[in-house]
Structure 1
Amino acid sequence: MSANPTFAFVTIGSGSYVGSTVRDIILANALHRRGFKVVVYWMMECKPELVADGIRQRMLCYGPRYHFRQPSEILDKIVGPLLFLFPARERVRIAQGMPGYVDRLLGNLTSCLHRTPDPDPLLVKRLIKFMALDGVSHLMMSFAAISPIALAAKKNSDHPFDYLVTFQGDEHFASYARKAGLLPEFRQRLKDVVQGSPWPAVVISHDYLDRIVEEMGLDRERLRVIYNGIELARDNEKPPFAVLNTVFPDLKEDTPIVSYVGRQESEKGIDLLLYAAKLLEVRRIPMQLVVCGSTAKGQSYRNAIVDIADHLRLAVHHAGQISSEIRDALYAHSRCVVYPSICREPFGLVAVEAMNRGTPVIVPDYGGITEVVRHSDKAGGLTFKAWDSADLALKLEQLLTDGMMHRKLSSQARDIAAKFNVEYMTDAVLEHIGIGSVRRDPDDICTEQPRNPALRESHRARA
């Protein structure tokens, strides 16, 4: 292996995986800041604005490649680049305007990579070519589910490299494999790719490790937990409240705000929050409810939120994707941030971001998200019984009415969030693969901000 490592990140920049993409690019940028050579290989969609200046980016494949059940080189090489002549927002609008289309692409991708031990040979050939051009020594795979191409490249390439597998959303791919009748093959491929790497695979929480072992039958000894990291806020000043009124003109500063920030998809349980908010309204507990975030699979669930709120006669300050400036202001001015997911979340990036601003969070007592709100005898938020809107209402009521509890959780929130510093994540990954850091002055590393201003937009959409 090269004495001067070059890292290549293979990641998907679309669908339900935006949070995973953010994690990968945060790590890529941190390695770049430390002096390592880094490249990013995008699959299906890209988010170039997240990537620091000086990092090479290449399109490994475009989404249309998986328009059909078999990968299409013609659609990939011709239609894909033509679609990218449109702005990203327009591409997303077009894809979401076709119900089920994103699921179809991801389902076809999953089938192509797991149906046989020889996954998408032409894509593997392209990956080998890119790695040789860039001198890649360490291939960082965003998901175990796309790692069959890494194993195939290693078997078929004369270029020396190793790859690291990360589990951080592979339950979505498992669902596609199950629908295609390929779950046994999917499980076998995961075992193969984990075994084919010299390092245990990275898993982003202890609960998610348990889930992967239980559901995929993997060897626990071949998995290691490394938590995700974020760029910690440098100051504690609240942005002006007026910033929020540019998106939410009717929002009032003198009434407590309860916020949901994240993807507006059915698995996120936003309807539970609506029911809980209605229960509090009946109890005459004042609050304002804000719901915002992008969608990955179309507008159906967002429209359902509007319908449910209308039937409940509940006022909701509702928006789609918001900028990082609005997001940070919302975190800072919210009484609490609620992430009511009904699925077993691998991690909880939104919860960490909110606590980083000193804002308590409420999350379900289910999944890896519970691990981000408590450390030792400190807590930065509360947990509620999963899927239970009445218990969520009770926890909300406590944070809205118990000033002493709120102050205690708020005072501890930043300390909890500091556990998830991007530098800790980067140190852990480098130690895991046996590479020493090429840091400059440690003080620079801890305080340096991304040079590209667009990186401050890096969490505009969530997984």
Structure 2
Amino acid sequence: METMMESTRTFAIVTMGSGDYLGSTVRDLALANALWRRGHKVVIYWMMEVNAELADPGIAHRMLCHGTRYHFATPSGFLDQCVGRLLFLLPRRLRVRTIQARSGYVDRLLRNLIHALYGRPEGDRGLARRLQRLLARDGASHVLMSFAALGPLALEAQRMSTHEFDYLLTFQGDEQFAAHAKQLGLLDEFHRLLNEAIRASAWPSVVVSADYADRIVAEMDVPRDSLAVVYNGIVQSERKVKHSFASLKSAFPGLSPHYPIVAYVGRQDAEKGIDLLLYAARLLARRNTAMQLVICGSTAKGGTYRKVLDDLATHLDLKVFHAGSISIETRDALYAHSHCVVCPSVNREPFGLVVAEAMSHGAPVLVPDYGGIGEVIRDGEKMGGLLFKAWDSGDLATQLERLLLDRPLHRRLAGNTRAIAKRFTVDNMVDAVLNLLETATRRTGASAATPDAVTDA
């Protein structure tokens, strides 16, 4: 049972929104909803974009900054507060489609954000000042930063504020921000300021898998004892819910219930390695292995890679059921009717929300033997899918063929999926976060530095 102090917590979640349901946004909003349902006050501070419909009614929303703030290397309050507000009068889908039509523009915004935080002696003081004013107005006691790379912003807001609060950093894709820092020649400063923000927090920083913790230690010079593993949580599928195949017809005309469906669901960006899946599908087509390939999902960086995939499928003479964003209902129906779901990523994935979601619907998965994603499909000796050699389209084809042709293997893996997915409930994630906050507070005091040793939460 929570103490009175715990029950009066006010959580401010600073998240970098997107026009579609990206993994970090989904994770942050699931956390926000669960905290709200447990009686905490929750406020969401959005950066770049907004996805307020993912949040429970009653949760407050604030716009911390619009993407236009980082149109130039120097942050612009005018472009943020004036031009950004005007652009937000347009429908969200139109805004997102327009921005993503400009190849490389989203990367430019993120690169300018990193330059503002790590390449200027004063950082982005204007945004830090706005953050501290919002936190004071909302009475926030606990600030949860969606990305650890935003740590200097939280630290600067804390330094200039008379309102007391502490912040928790989460690593969930921060290697992308580190890559921007490297391109800008700011990697050393990125490491220095990131570690400064980590040390100033009252709590260890969250990492979303054990492998990702190892990666952060190796690549960002972060001490291992300043990190705590908290796996992401997903909304679990209910077995009793039946998803009609007919619901897939409008999104994927011509899709048949009579042939096995192999699905990719997720961001359509270059690091996701979807081209490897196309090469593997071509190899299987030459072996006359029957399958229907479905590729769908949003993009964070524009439609260039999706156009590459269309061209590649044409050159490989592949029929692909290819779509962009789909509704949650269509996505769940696709999971439920897929023979397997493939994650062909060439990135060292920190976690794998799609993989956990697919298994919760009973679909076996195929993932690379690289990164934290392998932790998601394994529970002791039980597996909810197969591994393939990372970056190897030939081995991807071999393992996919096993899933398509070896029926006893497929049944065994499918039988494990739901039980393995239940390790990744939203409640488990929230319990781990709250336990981390409480344990570190008892050990160090609310404003002390990171403890010397932390057990994975």
Give TM class, smaller chain: over 0.9
Q: Distance in 1 between matches of 2:143 and 2:58?
A: 18
Q: Distance in 2 between matches of 1:390 and 1:155?
A: 53
1:207 aligns with 2:211: yes
1:61 aligns with 2:65: yes
The Cα offsets for residues 138-178 of structure 1, whole Å up to 9 and x where unpaired, read as 00001111111111111111101100010001001001101
Q: What's 2:321 paired with?
A: 317
Q: What's 1:91 paired with?
A: 95
The Cα offsets for residues 291-318 of structure 1, whole Å up to 9 and x where unpaired, read as 1111121111101111111111011011
1:165 aligns with 2:165: no
Q: Distance in 1 between matches of 2:356 and 2:320?
A: 24
Question: 1:113 touches 1:120 (CA, 8 Å); kept in 2?
Answer: yes
Q: Distance in 1 between matches of 2:341 and 2:168?
A: 34
What's the CA shift for 1:238? 3.3
Q: What's 1:296 paired with?
A: 300
What's the CA shift for 1:204? 0.3
Query: Given the two structures, how large is their TM-score scaled by the length of structure 1?
Result: 0.92
The Cα offsets for residues 390-423 of structure 1, whole Å up to 9 and x where unpaired, read as 1011111111011101111001000110000000
1:310 maps to a residue whose letter is T
Gap regions ≥5 residues in structure 2 = 441-457
Q: What's 2:270 paired with?
A: 266
What's the CA shift for 1:224? 0.5
Aligned-partner SS, 2:164: coil
What's the CA shift for 1:93? 1.0
What's the CA shift for 1:15? 7.9
Question: 1:2 touches 1:137 (CA, 8 Å); kept in 2?
Answer: no
Q: What's 2:422 paired with?
A: 418
Q: What's 1:13 paired with?
A: 17
Q: What's 1:278 paired with?
A: 282
Q: What's 1:330 paired with?
A: 334
Q: Distance in 1 between matches of 2:90 and 2:238?
A: 36
Q: Distance in 2 between matches of 1:97 and 1:283?
A: 38
Q: Distance in 2 between matches of 1:145 and 1:226?
A: 18
2:113 to 105, 109, 128: 109
1:250 maps to a residue whose letter is G
1:379 aligns with 2:383: yes
Aligned-partner SS, 1:433: helix
Distance 1:15 1:93, change over 3 A: closer
1:352-391 correspondence runs (5 A): 352-391=356-395
What's the CA shift for 1:105? 0.6
1:28 maps to a residue whose letter is A
Query: Given the two structures, how large is their TM-score scaled by the length of structure 2?
Result: 0.93
Aligned-partner SS, 2:263: strand
Q: What's 1:397 paired with?
A: 401
Aligned-partner SS, 2:289: coil
Aligned-partner SS, 2:333: helix
Aligned-partner SS, 1:57: strand
Question: 1:238 touches 1:333 (CA, 8 Å); kept in 2?
Answer: no
1:406 aligns with 2:410: yes
Q: What's 2:249 paired with?
A: 245
Q: Distance in 1 between matches of 2:407 and 2:240?
A: 20
Q: Distance in 2 between matches of 1:138 and 1:395?
A: 45
Question: 1:117 touches 1:189 (CA, 8 Å); kept in 2?
Answer: no
The Cα offsets for residues 154-207 of structure 1, whole Å up to 9 and x where unpaired, read as 111110110001000100100110111100000011101110101110000011
1:71 to 68, 75, 85: 75
- Indicate the larger mover: 14-23 or 103-112: 14-23
The Cα offsets for residues 42-79 of structure 1, whole Å up to 9 and x where unpaired, read as 01111111111111100001110111110001111100
1:109 maps to a residue whose letter is L
Q: Distance in 1 between matches of 2:370 and 2:333?
A: 28
1:235 aligns with 2:239: yes
Aligned-partner SS, 2:22: helix
1:116-127 correspondence runs (5 A): 116=120, 118-127=122-131
1:174 to 178, 190, 193: 178
1:360 maps to a residue whose letter is P
Q: What's 1:49 paired with?
A: 53
Distance 1:342 1:47, change over 3 A: same
Q: Distance in 2 between matches of 1:429 and 1:141?
A: 13
1:434 aligns with 2:438: yes
Q: Distance in 1 between matches of 2:377 and 2:249?
A: 29
What's the CA shift for 1:122? 1.1
What's the CA shift for 1:233? 1.5
Question: 1:9 touches 1:39 (CA, 8 Å); kept in 2?
Answer: yes
2:59 maps to a residue whose letter is I
2:179 maps to a residue whose letter is S
Q: Distance in 2 between matches of 1:376 and 1:16?
A: 34
Question: 1:95 touches 1:102 (CA, 8 Å); kept in 2?
Answer: yes
Aligned-partner SS, 1:164: strand
2:42 to 34, 38, 45: 38
Gap regions ≥5 residues in structure 1 = 437-463
Question: 1:236 touches 1:357 (CA, 8 Å); kept in 2?
Answer: no
- Indicate the larger mover: 192-201 or 118-127: 118-127
Question: 2:13 touches 2:44 (CA, 8 Å); kept in 1?
Answer: yes
What's the CA shift for 1:116? 3.9
What's the CA shift for 1:14? 2.3
Pairwise CA RMSD = 1.5
1:173 maps to a residue whose letter is F
The Cα offsets for residues 67-102 of structure 1, whole Å up to 9 and x where unpaired, read as 111000111110001000111110011101212111
Percent identical across equivalent pairs?
Answer: 58
- Indicate the larger mover: 426-435 or 326-335: 426-435
Q: What's 1:148 paired with?
A: 152
Aligned-partner SS, 1:415: helix
1:257 maps to a residue whose letter is I
Q: What's 2:221 paired with?
A: 217
What's the CA shift for 1:118? 2.9
